Amino acid sequence: MTASGKVRLSPDGQRLTLDLDTGPREFAALWLRERTPDAETLDPRTGQRLIEAAELPLDLAVEHAELDGETLALCFSDGQAARFPLAELRAEDRPRETIAPGRTLWDAGLSEPPRADFATALADDTALLGMLEGLHRYGFVLVSGVPIDEDGMQALIDRIGPLRRTNWGGIADVKSVADAYDLTMTQRGLEPHTDNPYRDPIPGYIWLHCLTNAADGGDNTLVDGYRAAQVLAERGPAAFDCLTRVTPGFRYRDETTWLESEGPLIELDGQGRVIRVRYSNRTERVAALPTEELARYYAARRAFYELITSDELTVHLKLDPGQMLIMDNYRLLHGRRAYELAGGVRHLRQGYVDRDSTASRRLVLRQRLAETGEVA
Ligand code: OGA
Ligand code: ZN
């Protein structure tokens, strides 16, 4: 085993330590070997692996390691030689984050909501991309100039992805009716919630379109669930941890529908970053867990509830006719204030669009417009 200066090898060669600006960082020999950047190991066009990684010897070692400027030169015990750009290894050394990059977290201090204009986004790809990027960054966008027809938002949905049909239909009414079978269709206020956590998959984006609003009340409330989770992690780490572990069930039932699913109020990805929040007082049914576990859960849920209903985190806005909110239902908690029908009819329309098609549209548009020089 030979190595020098800022690179050191363990006696068996199975671990390599590199001194980076952030301090020493250890890499496993096998991890390095399975991603050696040469044409026999990885396809140069797609980066797809050409060797079978699971067949590499488990005791594979680095026999020689040397820094050559910005490159790490390695020889492995299976005879393979490799030159790694240091930048690639530094990229693995990012500090632990609580939220994936590319998102701007916000609270009540948000000065201006991200906005888009319906007709412009419909006609122009750059404007459509701007709308999708605002939606990705902030988790919502306020769209103006939507035709005041029952299915006025459909044309813009068609630019992005299929409308998800559910038992509520395609684009469905949100207005108070005499014989309400869901709180949606009453004049009651709605606590901050995410929609339909009893569904699998849970609807990705909520499109909420205002045809008429009540004169008195009916304002919408928005809370950034990622920010709420982050605040909870800072102020109550035990509560945060509990809400990432306990997976309550959610259920909706009527004569023709029986929907059940489960998942934590705060869901983490494999790297420990918050990727989804759930909150639905109406439909949550936690199992009869051991009572101490339940006591911890109830206290943690209370702490989260206090954050998502706090003035500190809540943005208020009242939709005018012809305005629409698009909201990330994996990130935002939304609600509404109670309203009086005496003050006028309140009629909103709502539809759901999937996350994957929305993300795909944004990523492909970004790449295409960057190639033609239309965006940076
Ligand atoms: C709902 C809902 C919003 C509104 O019904 O789930 O969030 O503004 N409605 O009525
Ligand atoms: Zn809702």
Q: What are phi and psi of 363, to 5 degrees?
A: -70, -45
Split at pLDDT 50, 70, 90, the class of 340 is confident
Residue nearest to atom 1 of ligand 1 (CA): 184
Bridge partners, residue 75, by sequence? 64, 81
Which pair of tokens denotes residue 305? 């509830």
Confidence at residue 58, expressed as pLDDT on a 0 to 100 scale:
95
Its sign, for the CA torsion 242, 314, 331, 351, is positive
- Tell me the pLDDT tens digit for each residue of 49-64: 999 999 999 999 999 9
CB of 175 shorter than 6 A to ligand 1: no
Question: What spacing in Å lies between the alpha carbon of 349 and ligand 1's midpoint?
Answer: 9
Q: Residue whose CA is closest, atom 7 of ligand 1?
A: 335
> How far is ligand 2, taken at its centre, from the CA of residue 169, in Å?
15
Ligand 1 close to Cβ of residue 280 (< 6 A): no
**Position 91 confidence tier, pLDDT thresholds 50, 70, 90:** confident
Q: Which one, of 239, 166, 163, lies nearest residue 198 by Cα?
A: 166
- CB of 328 within 6 A of ligand 1: the answer is no
Quote the ligand 2 centre to 229 CA distance (angstroms). Answer: 19
DSSP 55: G
DSSP for 128-158, written as a single string: HHHHHHHHHHHSEEEEE---SSTTTTHHHHH
334 lines ligand 1 (CB under 6 A): yes
pLDDT of residue 220: 96
Question: What pLDDT does 99 receive?
Answer: 87
The response to whether residue 319 sits with its C-beta less than 6 Å from ligand 1 reads: no
Q: How far is Cα 257 from Cα 85, in angstroms, rounded to an integer?
A: 56
Confidence bin at 10 (pLDDT 50/70/90): very high
Residue whose C-alpha is closest to residue 229's, from 240, 220, 218, 238? 240
Ligand 1 centre distance from Cα of residue 174 (Å): 7
- Structural contact between residues 332 and 222, judged by C-beta atoms closer than 8 angstroms: yes
Specify the pLDDT at position 73: 96
Question: How confident is the model over 182-196, as a mean pLDDT?
Answer: 88
Query: Residue 176 CA: which ligand is closest?
Result: 1
For residue 183, which atom of ligand 1 is closest to its CA? 5
User: What is the distance, to the nearest Å, from the Cα of residue 171 to the centroid of all Cα atoms in its chain?
Assistant: 23
2-6, 56-60, 65-69, 190-194: range with lowest mean pLDDT? 2-6
Q: Is the pLDDT of residue 95 over 70?
A: no
Is the CB of 336 within 6 Å of ligand 1? yes
Give CA–CA dist 22/130, Å, rounded: 35
Å from CA of 184 to ligand 1 middle: 6
**Nearest CA, atom 5, ligand 1:** 184
Average pLDDT rounded to a whole number, residues 229-248: 97
Res 178: pLDDT: 64
* Proportion of the chain in helix, strand, coil states, percent, rounded to 5: 25, 30, 45
Q: For a pocket test of ligand 1, which of 140, 176, 184 has the largest count of ligand atoms closer than 8 A to its C-beta?
A: 184
Whether ligand 1 lies within 6 angstroms of the CB of 176 is answered as no
pLDDT, tens only, 155-172: 999 999 999 998 888 999
Q: Would you place residue 96 in the very low, low, confident or very high pLDDT band (cuts 50, 70, 90)?
A: low
- Calculate what percentage of the chain has a pLDDT beyond 90: 81
Structure confidence at residue 139 as a pLDDT band (50, 70, 90) = very high
DSSP 49: B
pLDDT digits (tens, 9 = 90+) for 254-308: 999 999 999 999 999 988 999 999 999 999 999 999 999 999 999 999 999 999 9
pLDDT bin (cut points 50, 70, 90) of residue 345 is: confident
Ligand nearest to the CA of residue 185, numbered in listed order: 1
Contacts of 229 (CB under 8 A, 6+ apart): 98, 240, 243, 266, 274, 277, 304
Alpha carbon distance, N-terminus to C-terminus of the chain: 47
Whether the pLDDT of residue 343 is over 70: the answer is no
Q: Do domains 7-91 and 115-370 have the same CATH topology?
A: no
Residues with CB under 5 Å of ion ligand 2 are 195
pTM of the model: 0.82
Q: List the residue whose alpha carbon is closest to atom 4 of ligand 1.
A: 336
CATH number at 115-370: 3.60.130.10
Q: What is the CATH number of domain 7-91?
A: 3.30.2020.30
DSSP string, 184-241: GGSSS-EEEE-S-TTSSSPP-EEEEEEEE--SSB--EEEEEHHHHHHHHHHH-HHHHH
Give CA 374 to chain center in angstroms: 27
362's tokens: 């944004």
Q: How does DSSP classify residue 167?
A: T
- Are the beta carbons of 266 and 244 closer than 8 angstroms? yes
Token reading at 163:
């409308």
Q: What is the DSSP-derived secondary structure letter of residue 109?
A: T
Please enumerate in sequence order all residues whose Cβ is within 8 A of that of 126, keeping only pairs 6 or more positions apart, or say none. 369, 374, 375
184 lines ligand 1 (CB under 6 A): yes
For residue 183, CA distances in Å to 186, 205, 340 come to 5, 20, 15
Q: Which atom of ligand 1 is nearest to 220's Cα?
A: 8
- Cα Dmax for the chain: 83
Nearest ligand for residue 324 CA = 1
Write down the H helix ranges in the chain.
29-34, 86-90, 118-123, 125-138, 154-158, 225-235, 237-245, 291-308, 355-371
Sorted by where each begins, the domain ranges of the chain are: 7-91, 115-370
Closest ligand to C-alpha of residue 211 is 1
Q: Assess whether pLDDT exceeds 70 at residue 7.
A: yes
Q: Is the pLDDT of residue 94 over 80?
A: no
For residue 61, give the 3-state DSSP assignment: coil
pLDDT tens-place string over residues 199-209 = 999 999 999 99
pLDDT in tens, 104-120: 999 999 999 999 999 99
Residue 4 C-alpha to ligand 1 middle, in angstroms? 63
